[in-house]
Amino acid sequence: MCNSVKMASEGETIDYNSPYANYRSPLSTRYASKEMQYNFSDQKKFSTWRKLWIVLAKAQKELGLEITQAQIQQMEAHVHDIDFVAAADEEKLTRHDVMAHVHVFAKLCPLAAPIIHLGATSCFVGDNTDLILLKDGLEMLGNRLAVVVQNLAEFCNQYKSLPALGFTHLQPAQLTTVGKRGTLWLFDLLLDERALRRAKEDLRFRGAKGTTGTQASFLQLFNGDNEKVKALDKRVSELSGFQKSYPVTGQTYTRKVDLEVVSVLSSLGSTIHKMCSDLRLLANMKEIEEPFEKSQIGSSAMPYKRNPMRSERCCALARHLIALFSNAANTHSVQWLERTLDDSANRRLTLAEGFLSADAALITLANITQGLVVYPKVIERRINQELPFMSAENIIMAMVKKGGDRQVCHEKIRVLSQEAGNQVKIHGKENDLLDRVRADPYFKPIVNELNSILDPSTYIGRASEQVTEFLETEVKPVLALYDLEQINQPVKLSI
């Protein structure tokens, strides 16, 4: 162990015991919530180990083993008072984290010491605890995602009829509406909500499976009674909040389960990245901005800047989420036979960071979606720059109705469009196609109709109705699954 104060080679005095002299994960210091941090904390992990030893003892007692209520009560009295220093010292001696905590717990509960961890393998506490953490983490993420869905649904409804220029290939396309564009993000989030919910519902418990999954130790404890061993597995799972356990395991539950969960988180990352990339593009166009605080500084050198830093943060966290998928896939793929330990260090990083990153991204996204700022005049101006070109077909149809020849009209519009395009691209001027149409005697029969022909609301199809229908039939039933009054609080970012 390093001395608390040490002289560096350059002569600098370093206090290695200072929290600022040690690496601290930015997920903990800057981004993720206290609730999600606690979910993956040592306190929750090791107190859950103790709860599992209690659950195991209760189930074994129910099924006839000689375990007393006094032993169980003694364990229950010491679930949370964990001596982490003592456990660390024990682990240095034993090189085994589970046995270190068994010894420390046994010293607190001398009456229960003989039956703590009875018949169990390390993965009884390790894997089962991980499954509890995954379940609780998915619950928290589902709640956070529901807040984002509600915020975005309100945004879509508010702007469902506001025309906006659509883009395909990032080139001007037919009009859409601001709210309709928002439903594209929202539908992806609904798919993520479904995936999170299914992942939570699909989780089972490892239960009481023994050293290599054969339940041999428990079969010996119950003198070869298969039914009691099966009942123990079922009861341990029920007492831990799971209706089912995995039917077969090796020493561990299959790491395919981790892969499925991380896959859901990575998929959520792709949704967040796509949405926030769109917001960054729209911020560049000055059509939509994320919230910007009164005292917020966009740049140390350029005080006028309003950088979309929240969306950029979401994209950064989302990329990390996406990358974690390969970690989980590789870990599952190299688990030889009943298990190897090269999953351990990787899972300590991947699972916790996956949930903390998703938590942080959703917190930030909730903050963004509760305060999006729309600039209708900028959006209108961009429409006016492009709509004259898009109106060409409507102008032709109007002329035909007045007795004009379609081919002649098409050629007239083509020539005028090219001339107007040159004004925009070569000379940097405004699109003057409509002025050219008005000035051409050929189009005199429809000049008085041009304003109605160019009404943006006539170019958005069923966008507004689609938003209303989508919110009612798809979004509303999902939000009904959540207690939004309890979980939907104004989201403020710490940094």
Catalytic residue set: 169, 299
Do 395 and 308 touch, CB atoms closer than 8 A?
no
Cα–Cα distance, 141 to 362 (Å, whole number): 8
CA distances from 450 to 302, 391, 421, 446, 456 (A): 43, 9, 19, 7, 12
Do 351 and 262 touch, CB atoms closer than 8 A?
yes
CA distances from 365 to 179, 188, 308, 416, 487 (A): 17, 14, 12, 45, 15
Do 49 and 120 touch, CB atoms closer than 8 A?
no
Helices 256-284 + 178-202 axis angle, to 10: 170
CA distances from 173 to 166, 167, 176, 294, 447 (A): 5, 5, 9, 35, 25
Q: Which amino acid is at 362?
A: L
- Token output for 217: 């130790």
| Of 234, 226, 236, the residue nearest 129 (C-alpha) | 236
Structure letter (DSSP) for residue 229: H
Helices 376-390 + 392-401 axis angle, to 10: 50
Using DSSP's 3-state secondary structure scheme, residue 13 falls into strand
CA dihedral 263, 350, 316, 154 (to 10 degrees): 50
Secondary structure element (H or E) that encloses residue 322, with its range: helix 309-333
Q: Which amino acid is at 478?
A: V
| Of 59, 54, 57, 51, the residue nearest 231 (C-alpha) | 59
| Of 368, 152, 382, the residue nearest 285 (C-alpha) | 382
| Of 312, 422, 449, the residue nearest 368 (C-alpha) | 312
User: How many alpha carbons lie under 13 Å from residue 313 in its C-beta half-sphere?
Assistant: 24
Secondary structure element (H or E) that encloses residue 127, with its range: helix 122-158
Return the percent helix, strand and coil in the chain, to nearest 5: 65, 5, 30
